[in-house]
Amino acid sequence: MKQIIKNTYRIAILLLCTCSLKAQSPTKLFNDSRVINSHSVEVLQKGTLDIRIGHRFGDVGGAWNTFYGLEQATDVYIGGEYGLSDKFLVGLSRSKGSAGLRMLVNGLAKWNLAHEKDGKPFSLTLVGLATVSTMQKSDSPSSLSHFPNFLNRMSYCGQWVIGKRISPALSLQANISALHRNIVLIEDMNTTISVGMATRIQLNKTFALIGDINMPLNGPQSLFQESSANLPDFYIPIGVGMEFNTGGHIFQMNLTNARGIPQTDFLASTTSSWLDGGFRLGFTISRVFKVR
């Protein structure tokens, strides 16, 4: 694990040292394709490659024993996304995983159906994510990683994301998500529906405040249903942070109680509470290259 973290930092430093591209278009609702935990309505331009590195540290509530979580890593994410057109991108990533299933390979497709910069009244994007766990099969039939067949390793998430620029400095979006996990614990639910919101407040040319929230509506993860005695307590994933746009890089620094980074990992698996110090420092680096 220490070697993985070291390699992550080395790649991050290398990306930060490369030359910058031109500044992001002011017509965008969001500077990046992510808003902390959530996908934004934005996609890449055709022929553009986005190399992304994300990191989540341990709980701040660990205090001095873990240097407020900075000596731990709940998730590490490395991946790339490519714009096949100005409206459609595909991506592939690897993440450590933070819930019952680990060692995740994530395939992404994202299609922007409408955008305000094209004269539309709002922006609308469809997101599809498929995740496979590559962890070793367990010999215990009661374990999530027992994997009776290959499909038990899979989980999927589909999202509709709609966004609107409220003012030159303020953008808002909402999403509805359907998450399906092929294998869950007995008292859990395979399919959960969530709704969420995200915002960006642009303070100057390079600096913005960002935040997001995602709320499961059914299953033991929901506030509207009683929790199960055989499952942990679940909490709503909430993130707040800062975003720096250097031109070719987008750097986000955030605090969130979500441990995992992909939607298939955190939407139904957030068991940390802000009130109990179960939030953590995280960062994401996005480096965009024009490859054609």
CATH number, domain containing residue 138: 2.40.160.40
Is residue 46 over pLDDT 90? yes
pLDDT of 220 > 60? The answer is yes
Average pLDDT over residues 270-287: 93
Q: What is the arithmetic mean of pLDDT over 140-148? A: 85
Nearest to 268 by CA among 209, 211, 196, 188: 188
User: 7 or 259: which carries more pLDDT confidence?
Assistant: 259
The pLDDT score that the predictor gives to residue 3 is 52
Domain encompassing residue 247? 2-290
pLDDT of residue 246: 85
Tell whether the model's pLDDT for residue 292 goes beyond 80.
no
Q: How far is CA 98 from CA 22, 58, 257, in A?
A: 36, 11, 12
pLDDT for residue 26:
54
Mean pLDDT of 227-243: 90
Tens of pLDDT, residues 165-211: 999 999 999 999 999 999 998 889 999 999 999 999 999 989 999 99
Average pLDDT over every residue of 241-257: 92
* Mean per-residue pLDDT over the chain, rounded: 88
User: On the CB side of 88, how many CA atoms lie within 13 Å of its CA?
Assistant: 3
Domains: count for the chain: 1
**Taking 80 as the threshold, does the pLDDT of residue 248 lie above it?**
no
pLDDT at 23 over 70: no
Indicate whether 139 pLDDT > 90.
no
Q: Is the pLDDT of residue 110 over 50?
A: yes
For residues 71-92, give the mean pLDDT.
Answer: 95
Residue 165 CB coordination number (10 Å): 19
